[in-house]
Amino acid sequence: MPDAVAVAVAKSVTSHIKAQGFITDELVVRSYAEWDLDLKNINEVENTEHARIDVVSHTTDQGVNLASRGSMQYKVPIDIAVRKKFRQLHQDDVTRRIDIEKIDAHQRCLARFLLGK
């Protein structure tokens, strides 16, 4: 049985992000809106310095239009959540603020992700 349209779209987006190659595959996941996921121990659990990317499709906001005779056009909203936990070692010892270079690197990753480059 084929996937529902929303599931197929979310799988395709997830595969596309993984194919970009700038983030490890296990950190790009298709999920169902786990926005309250506890990320306190993400670096220890997943042993990574990378961000976690969740791809979530929404069936409640989905739109369907007649595209032509005998075909339908689906509009499936997708949320892409990019989450990164900065660890204590990323903090400045004096100010306790996150090292700006680490945040800049994260921003570059986000820009590459958004632009597909």
Residue-wise DSSP of 33-49: --TT---TTHHHHH--S
Structural domain includes residue 75: yes
- How is residue 9 annotated by DSSP? H
Whether residue 77 lies inside any domain: the answer is: yes
Q: Is pLDDT above 60 for 48?
A: no
Instruction: Specify if 93 maps to a domain.
Output: no
What average pLDDT is seen over the chain? Answer: 76
In a domain, 12, yes or no: yes
As for how many domains the chain has, the answer is 1
Please give the C-alpha separations between residue 16 and each of 12, 25, 60, in angstroms, as whole numbers.
6, 11, 23
**Residues ≥6 apart with Cβ < 8 Å to 117:** none
Domain membership of residue 63 (yes or no) is yes
Q: Considering the domain boundaries, does residue 106 fall inside one? A: no
Instruction: Note the pLDDT tens digit of each residue in 25-41.
Output: 567 888 887 666 666 66
Residue 95 lies in a domain: no
Q: Which two tokens stand for residue 98?
A: 């996150």
pLDDT category of residue 11 using cuts at 50, 70 and 90: very high
* This model's pTM is above 0.75: no
Range of the domain at 25: 5-85
Residue 21 counted as domain residue: yes
